[in-house]
Chain A
Amino acid sequence: MEAIATRPAVACCRRAASSAPASTRPILNTLPSGARQKSTAARTRRALNIPPHPSFLTQTGNNAEGRPTTDQIIYNPPSSAASVFHTPFKFLPKNDPRRRANLASELFASSATIHFNTNPSSTPSSSSTTAEEFPSIEGAPRYRARHHLAPADIEEMRRLREADPAQNTVQALSARFQCSKLFVMMCCQAPREHRDKVKADLAQTQERWGPRRRAAREERRARMGMVFGGEL
C-alpha cells in the first residue's frame, strides 16, 4: 500500500521528535522516503484517485474494462435496512396468509439467510448465514425472571441492603440472589444517608467538570433523545 503521511500525522511526528529524547530521534529518519504531504492539487488528486472496489470488477457479466454490460443497476454499497412496513415473519399473526405463503422457506432457513446467486444458470447455492455467526453485543447475560425467590429471600435482601449498602450494592445483591437488578431495586431501597452520600459524591464529581465536558455530556444526552424520538 502506498504510504502517504497526512499533514497532522507529520506534524505529530515532528512534535514528538522535537520533544523526544535523542535516542528516539533516528526512528523518524527511518520513515520511508516516499512519505509525502498532499501539499499540491496534483498530489491530492492522485491520492483521491482510487480504483473501484474489487466487487465491482470481479462480477460476472462485466466486460474487459470491468464495466457492466447489462442495464442492471448495482447498488454498491447495498441499499439501506429493510422498511419497517415489511413485517418480520415472526411478527405475523397466526392466521395471516403470508405465514402460509413462505412456510416452506421458513422451515428450512432462517430469515437472516442471505442467498448469493453466484451462477444464474444453476439453482441458488445453499450458502447461508445463521444468526449465531454474528457476534452478540449484549453485555453480560442478564438474569431472566425465574420467580424463584421466596418472601424470606426478599426479607434477607432488604436486611442486607439496610445493613451495609456500600458493600451490598444492587449489583452484588443481583448476583447473589440470581435476579435482575431491576428486581433488587423494586424490592429494597438504600437508607437515606447512603442515598445522600451517593448524591453528594456525584455532585462533587460533577463539580470538577469543566465547561467542555459538561457541554459534551449535555449534547450526548440530547443526541440520544433525538435517537429515541426518531430524529436521528
Chain B
Amino acid sequence: MKRLRLDRWTGQLLLARPGASPASTPRAALRAAAAVPSRCAAVRSQSTGAAVPQIPREDVDDYYDGTDHTRFPPLEPLPPRATSLPSPPPERALQSAKLAALHARLSLPERLPLQTLARALVDASADENPQFNNTTLAFVGQSLINYHVAEWVMCRYPRLPMDIMYATMKGYAGASSLHHVARAWGVEHAAAPGGEVDPGLLQFSLHKPGDAIVGLGYRRAEADGMKKYKWRHGMSSRVVFDDDFGEVVDTEDAKDELRLRRDTEYGNEYTRALAEKAFATCARAVTGAIYAHAGRDAAKAFVQAHVLSRTLDLSKLFAFAKPTRELSMLCAREDFEPPVARLLSETGRMSRTPVFVVGIFSGKDKLGEAAGPSLEVARNKAAMNALKSWYLYSPGEGVRVPSDMLADDARPWEPAYIDIGEVVGR
C-alpha cells in the first residue's frame, strides 16, 4: 500500500471544531494523539496480578462522563469526554485503521485528509451539528453526481421521455444505487453512533432521522392528498416541484405507522430506507469531499468511475399504454410511411403453444420485431420494441458532454443532438 504523506495534506476542513483540541493540523494531531496519557490504566480483569488502584486526578471531575472504567476498560485510549460526544472527535480519525484502509481502497487523492473522510461518515441523524456531520459535503456531492449523470444521460440518450429520464437518473444516482455503491466500497456501519465509535464506521441513528436537507425540491401542499386520493400529478409539475428524480418530497409524518413498529420488528421498510439514505449520503459526501479538496476533475473522474460505470438496462424501464397507436403517431410526426405489422414466421398455430414472429414495417424498413404467443401480443411487443429503439437512440459510446469543455485543451464544442420531444404526453 502506498504510504500516505501526511505533510502534503491540506487542513481546510480540519478546523471544524476550533479550540476543541490543540490538534488543529495533522502533525499536531499526531503528536497530540501520541501524547494523550491514558486516563486510566487498562485493567485486565482476567489477570492474576493485583489490580492497580485508580487514583482519581484533579481534572477527572471535568472529564468524567459516568463510565466505570474499571469495569469497562476502553479498547484504545480515548480523548477526554469522548463517550459523551455524539460523534468521534476529528483528531481520532488519524488513529483509525478502517478509515486509512477506506482511503487507500478508494484511491482517494492524498490531499483529501482522513479527518474529512471521517466527517463524511457521520450522518446528520447521528450528529445534528452541521459542523461535524456530512450534510454540507453531501449536498455538494449530490449536486455534482446529479449534474454529471444528467448531462451524460441527456447527451447519450437524447430521445428519452422525461419519466424514463427520471427513472434513469434514479437508477444511477438514486439513494438505493448509491447505497449499493457505498456498500461495495466496504463501508460498514456502527450499531449506534457515539464519540467512542471507530471513526471508520458509518454512523447514523434509526431513532431520530434528522432533518438535514440533502436534495432540492419543494414540499407540496397537496402531498398528503396525492398519496391518499391518488391525485394526478403531471410531468410538468414534477419538473417544477419535485426532487431531482421526479419524486414527491415526502414528509416524515407520513411514515408514523412504520416508525412505531421499528423496534418490535427486526427491521422494516422504514429502517431500511433510513439506512439506505445514510449510506447514500455517505457516498455523496465522499464525492463532495473530493471536490472540496482535489477539485473538479477529480470529482468528475470519481463520479464516472463509481456511478456512471454501473450497468443499467434502460430498455427495462419502459412501459406503454397503447404502443401501436404511439408508433402510428410517431410515424405520422416524422413523415414515415404508416407502420404495418407483418407476420415473419410462425409455428404451431393450431397447437397449445404457438409462436408468432411479427415485424413492424414502415415502407420497406423494418422498425421492430418480436415473438409472442398470439398475433396480438407479438404485434404489440414488436411495436414496443420499435418505440424503444426510437427512444433509445444514442449518438455513440464516446459522446461528449458539456463538462468536457472545462478541460484546458478541449476541442471546440459541437452541438449535442437534441430531440424535438416526446411522442405522447404522459
Which A residues are closer than 8 A to B by beta carbons? 80-93, 95-96, 110-112, 130-131, 134-138, 144, 224, 227-230, 232
Contact = CB atoms under 8 A, between A and B. Distances in A.
Contacts of A85: 315, 389, 392, 394
Q: Interface of chain A, helix or strand or loop or mixed?
A: loop
Contacts of B244: none
Nearest to A93: B417
Contacts, number: 104
Contacts of B371: 80-81
Contact of B365 (A83, A89, A224): A89
25 contacts: A81-B357, A81-B368, A81-B371, A81-B385, A82-B369, A84-B315, A85-B315, A85-B392, A87-B393, A88-B367, A88-B389, A90-B367, A91-B367, A93-B393, A96-B395, A110-B365, A111-B365, A111-B366, A131-B365, A131-B366, A135-B343, A136-B342, A136-B343, A137-B358, A230-B316
B338 interface: yes
B341 A138 contact: yes
Interface string B346-383: 00000000000111011111111111100101011100
Given A110-B364, A134-B344, A228 B320 contact: yes
Contact of B379 (A84, A89, A137): A137
B120 interface: no
A136 B340 contact: yes
A131 B393 contact: no
Given A84-B389, A88-B389, A228-B323, A112 B366 contact: yes
B321 interface: yes
Nearest to A106: B365
A81 B385 CA distance: 10
B381 A227 contact: yes
Given A81-B385, A228-B320, A138 B366 contact: no
B305 interface: no
Given A82-B369, A111-B364, A131-B364, 19 more contacts: A81-B357, A87-B389, A87-B393, A88-B366, A88-B389, A91-B389, A91-B390, A91-B393, A93-B393, A110-B364, A112-B359, A130-B364, A131-B340, A131-B342, A131-B363, A134-B344, A137-B343, A138-B340, A144-B338
B318 interface: yes
Contacts of B417: 93, 95
Interface residues of B, number: 45
B416 to A, nearest CB: 12
A227 B375 CA distance: 13
B16 to A, nearest CB: 47
A131 B361 contact: yes
A151 B348 CA distance: 51
B384 A228 contact: yes
- Minimum-distance CB pairs A-B, first 6: A110-B364, A134-B342, A84-B388, A131-B361, A84-B389, A81-B369
Contacts of A81: 357, 368-371, 385
Interface in B377-422: 377, 379-381, 384-386, 388-390, 392-395, 417
B231 interface: no
B336 interface: yes
Nearest to A130: B364
Contact of A227 (B361, B380, B392): B380
Interface string B167-186: 00000000000000000000
Contacts of B338: 144
